[in-house]
A and B are shown apart, each in its own frame.
Chain A
Amino acid sequence: MVGLHTSDIKNPVINWIDTRLPIFTMMQKEYGVFPTPKNFNYFWNFGALAMVNLMIMIVTGIFLAMNYNASTAGAFDSVERIMRDVNYGWLLRYVHANGASMFFIVVYIHMFRSLYYGSYKKPRELLWMIGVAILLLMMATAFMGYVLPWGQMSYWGATVITNLFSAIPLVGDSIVTLLWGGFSVDNPTLNRFFSLHYLLPFVIIGVVFLHIVALHVTGSNNPLGIDVKSSQDTLPFHPYYTVKDLFGMCIYLLVFASLVFFAPNYLGHADNYIPANPLVTPTHIVPEWYFLPFYAILRSVPSKLGGVILMFSSIAILFVLPWLDTSPVRSARFRPIYRWMMVAFVVDCVLLGEVGGRPPEGIWVVVGQLSTLYYFLHFLVLVPVVGKMEHPLPLPESISRPVLPSGGGPLPAGYAAKPMEKV
């Protein structure tokens, strides 16, 4: 039996497979009995939701591609044909279009959760960096997908975003010509965007797999941010978290369905129902809502290269965040100052989104510059300095005994008033 795996599975067929390819044992280990901290709150549902969302996007996308025509002459009409003539085509398209928004909602919440509870900190730095890579891939995929219906926003969004690369000194224009496959956004551009839009989600699956592998090496963080001490602190993933994820998924699908069935164009732009016209730019061009904060950062400096560098830095900075944070404590629950910094940071991001959606005029220019400044101030100054200066509250001894035994210090402020689990 050298080289064969000893499987515990009773069913002879599954046992035969499992001894040769232990995927069943692996699933049992990673998703069956996997020891998971018992004190997750509902913010820990969003990783599973992102996974579900990715699957929904891929499946609907595959069926949409069966009816889509990637050519400047046929793209708009083929999308309308999907909406009007293909059986349930309207459902596929609206799920796919709103699914992009849902994906970003879910992933942004997932990220803010990580920021609040310090999930990016040691030993989960690489897990976090892989996550940021997923975000970048998602952004590229979403951007190229938005070009495919070939409406006015598709066309001008593609033009503006690809032109970002022209800011690069010396080779910028050549790069843009290369990206376009011509001298403007045109048929070759649309074709390659379609090809890449189909490819990248599968790359995302690969990187998500790495993300999960890394997660299962370190184990999950938890709302207290302290390490798991004993088996008393954990529960097997199944059935406790499978059923909890299932419940979270139902609520997520309720929100998703409300958008798809009752307000399918709410998050979109009316202008994208006008076929692309390379000779007329819409009066007010803005990206989809999930790019607005980055768009605001791009516009905050009156320099082409400066804006582009700043925008890419705003994501690049996330890669080094684990080393910018100097605090010994993970969870913001025990970090009285950082907790308020997080509130301010969320407000700042929403503000950036608001600025990104408005024409750069009057007061909004200043607001945009200040909120951009604060974005970088948060990561580059506040996070490292506050991490050193702040006096964290006493940490609980363990997850299963969240309060120190008698004489272990006062309860953290707000802790007693707010039970750590809703259930």
Chain B
Amino acid sequence: MSVHRLAAVAALLTGFAAAPAFAQEIELPKQNWSFDGPFGTFDKAAAQRGFQIYKDVCSNCHSMKQVYYRNLSGIGLSDAQIKAIAATVDVPTIGDDGQPTERKGLPADHFKSPYPNERAARAAQNGALPPDQSVIEKAREGGADYIFALLTGYTDPPAGVKMGDGMNYNKYFPGHQIAMAAPLSDGRVDYIDGTKPTLEQEARDVTTFLAYVANPEMEERKRTGIRVVLFLAMLSGLTYVVKRQVWSDVDH
């Protein structure tokens, strides 16, 4: 891994773009994502469908603590839609009488977690803790490709593999035994926009959504990056010419 990285640094220094190489025990199938590359953007329709899957499926067990309802504007939802989505959850608060009560969610609220705390999550999940999904796309080696592979990688265990109690076989999970049962399947959700909900489509959409919530700054970052690189290239050219001129009277 390190040599790949060192090589990449060297390649960058010499001006070549190197493809990232991840040291993964199992080879992950490489997917094409709308957010790949220096000009990549999020496919907003896919991210919205992905949010629907998160809301209907994932959020039953997985929290997304870092994300606010207002962040949904980044996948193209309107303020009114965001308000309506936020209003569907009840947020604990302290009433005027000083007693705990609940109020309707606001765009400025964090996504509501399915469990009040880690112990409650473990108690409900057979001792396993469903990881927070706010930055999971960045927190897994392989990123979006890994998530997609995991979601579509459930199979029957090969002959001779002894499965732990309540564990499920997954081709791409390290160790192959995962506590989460296959979360997606053909027709798992009814898409609002009428897209056919195949397993692959669902996995692709929810991965796009997870990539967005992990990197909400990505589109702005890449746009800025293009400008910065162009500017620096121009300045490099200018300084090089000026340098040639300054040095033109030196015999060396």
Contact = CB atoms under 8 A, between A and B. Distances in A.
The binding surface of chain A is classed by DSSP as: helix
Interface in A239-259: 239-240, 243-244, 246-247, 250-251, 253-255, 257-259
Q: Which of B38, B66, B131, B233 has the most CB of A within 10 A?
A: B66
Nearest to B213: A84
Contacts of B135: 80, 273
A350 B3 contact: yes
Interface residues of B, number: 50
A258 B3 contact: no
B216 interface: yes
Contacts of B65: 77
Nearest to A260: B225
| Those 6 A-B pairs whose CB atoms lie nearest each other, nearest first | A261-B225, A357-B2, A273-B139, A250-B236, A90-B217, A247-B239
Interface of A: 38-39, 77, 80, 83-84, 90-91, 94, 101, 105, 235, 239-240, 243-244, 246-247, 250-251, 253-255, 257-267, 270-271, 273-275, 283, 286, 289, 292, 350, 353-354, 356-358, 400, 420-421, 423
A52 B217 CA distance: 26
21 contacts: A38-B250, A235-B250, A239-B246, A243-B246, A244-B247, A247-B240, A250-B236, A254-B232, A255-B13, A259-B12, A261-B226, A262-B225, A266-B8, A274-B131, A292-B2, A353-B3, A354-B6, A357-B3, A358-B1, A358-B2, A423-B247
A345 B224 CA distance: 40
A185 B6 CA distance: 30
A38 B236 contact: no
Nearest to A84: B216
Contacts of B2: 286, 289, 292, 353-354, 356-358
Given A358-B1, A421-B252, A261 B229 contact: yes
B27 interface: no
Given A261-B229, A353-B6, 16 more contacts: A84-B217, A235-B250, A240-B250, A243-B242, A247-B236, A247-B240, A258-B229, A261-B224, A275-B132, A283-B174, A289-B2, A289-B5, A350-B3, A354-B3, A354-B6, A423-B244
A243 B244 CA distance: 9
Contacts of A275: 132
A40 to B, nearest CB: 10
Q: Which of B13, B138, B216, B233 has the most CB of A within 10 A?
A: B138
